[in-house]
């Protein structure tokens, strides 16, 4: 059914395993969430992307930047991926439902 709806132009797959309705207005936040979802829950928005999500001055909502814990890898041409040894639960939060590093971890990453 999904394959048929993609072929018919009703659905789009912007990231592996992530579907969206064609014609729905895409947002930067939607793109960030799509990358996180396509990682199987292994990635969180981080660095400049997290700073923008937290509303920190001087960071625009243009770049998608995520962190994943080793040994996981995520390779996408359109995003910046950082590998880290750990992402402790106390370093994580959510902004508008998007998994993201907390303010303190974001500042440390920057």
| Distance in angstroms (rounded) separating the CA atoms of residues 96 and 11 | 24
Res 96 pLDDT > 90 = yes
Q: Which of 3-12, 44-53, 62-71 has the highest mean predicted lDDT (pLDDT)?
A: 44-53
Q: Round to the nearest angstrom and report the end-to-end CA distance of the chain.
A: 43
- Would you list the domain boundaries of the chain? 27-109
pTM beyond 0.85, yes or no: no
């Amino acid at each position: 059914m999904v394959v048929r709806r993609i072929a018919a132009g009703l659905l789009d797959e912007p990231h592996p395993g992530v579907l969206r309705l064609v014609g729905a207005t895409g947002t930067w936040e939607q793109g960030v969430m799509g990358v996180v979802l396509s990682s199987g829950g292994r990635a969180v928005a981080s660095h400049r992307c997290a700073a923008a999500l937290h509303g920190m001055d001087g960071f625009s909502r243009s770049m998608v930047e995520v962190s994943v814990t080793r040994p996981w890898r995520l390779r996408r041409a359109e995003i910046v991926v950082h590998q880290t040894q750990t992402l402790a639960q106390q370093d994580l939060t959510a902004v508008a439902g998007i998994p993201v590093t907390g303010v303190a971890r974001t500042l440390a990453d920057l």
